[in-house]
Amino acid sequence: MKLAFVASKTEEAQRALATLRAEHGEHKPAEADLIVTLGGDGFMLQSLHRYRDLAKPFYGMKLGTLGFLMNLHRPEGLVERIEAAKPTLLRPLEMTAVSESGSTVNALAYNEVSLLRQTKQAAHIRVFLTNSEKLSELVCDGVLVATPAGSTAYNLSANGPILPLDSRVLAMTPISPFRPRRWRGAILPADIEVRLEVLDHYKRPVSATADANEVRDVVEVTIRESTTFTANLLFDPEHKLEDRILNEQFAS
């Protein structure tokens, strides 16, 4: 098995990288059968974006602060662990953001697409689902759309629902909503298109972020599940992502 090892910049991850390359050899990601990532969830997301066109599976080992998308760091018997690992398919979101200047930015998000106010002024956002207006004016600090894998990240911090990994739904969650007062978000079918129109954008500027890719001063953002890209993550049988998402719903 040809393994490509990539690691975050931390000292611990770099030490593990040197040890694993010495034992298993060094292959470029394009030539490898699988990419082993060493770090935290943030580095895993970076790796998914960086190597997405290679269509390689990923096996992560936690050497960072957060490790929801990672396996435990245990270098012994690595090849045997990978051979026994269970695949999990992630379906990212595609974001198309139009800025005040008229430019258009396309980006992928494996966790969530979020809109956030840039100043002290609350954001005013009109919400459309597949061209049907659902909220004429959402007054808030922001709003996000999360995948099932991302539902335990920023979405959970914003009091959004945790979604089962195979549920084929998305979470739409407001961030500090002021009006409508009783609206706490929605669970949407995965094949729906979300369009968010920023109202009064000169006075109330808003940024849009797809994972770590930020676009400032947006006037309209369209979000849909990708039909082109997927990511295949491998997890140890006792450390499956489905189980962790389920267990997170009972965490105190």
pLDDT, residue 182, reads 85
Residue range 139-188, pLDDT digits in tens: 999 999 999 999 999 999 999 999 988 889 999 999 999 999 889 999 99
- pLDDT (average), residues 51-70: 90
Q: How confident is the model at residue 65 (pLDDT cuts 50, 70, 90)?
A: confident
227 vs 206: CA distance, rounded Å: 27
Distances (CA, A) of 110 to 17, 65, 150, 194, 238: 25, 19, 7, 16, 23
Q: Could you list the active site residues? A: 41
The phi, psi pair for 157, rounded to 5°, reads -65, -30
- pLDDT (average), residues 177-205: 95
Express the helix, strand and coil content of the chain in percent, nearest 5 each.
Answer: 20, 40, 40
Dihedral sign for Cα atoms in the order 171, 90, 41, 165 = positive
pLDDT, residue 162, reads 92
Token duo for residue 141: 């600090």
* CB atoms inside a 10 Å sphere around CB 23: 11
Ramachandran region of residue 131, left (φ > 0), alpha (ψ -120 to 50) or beta?
left
Dihedral sign for Cα atoms in the order 63, 110, 86, 2 = negative
Token duo for residue 237: 């049988």
* Spans of all domains in the chain: 3-90+230-248, 93-225
Fold topology of 3-90+230-248 = Rossmann fold (3.40.50)
pLDDT, residue 124, reads 98
Residue range 6-52, pLDDT digits in tens: 999 999 999 999 999 999 999 999 999 999 999 999 999 999 999 99
Percent residues over pLDDT 70 in the chain: 100
118 vs 56: CA distance, rounded Å: 37
Dihedral sign for Cα atoms in the order 114, 241, 233, 88 = negative
pLDDT, residue 194, reads 98
Q: How confident is the model at residue 73 (pLDDT cuts 50, 70, 90)?
A: very high
Percent residues over pLDDT 90 in the chain: 86
pLDDT, residue 190, reads 96
Q: What mean pLDDT is reported for the chain?
A: 94
Residue range 81-108, pLDDT digits in tens: 999 999 999 999 999 999 999 999 999 9
pLDDT, residue 233, reads 95
| CATH numeric code, 93-225 | 2.60.200.30
pLDDT, residue 252, reads 64
pLDDT, residue 241, reads 81
CA 235 from chain centre, in angstroms, equals: 17
Token duo for residue 65: 């602060």
Query: Residue 4: beta bridge partners?
Result: 35
The phi, psi pair for 220, rounded to 5°, reads -155, 140
pLDDT, residue 170, reads 98
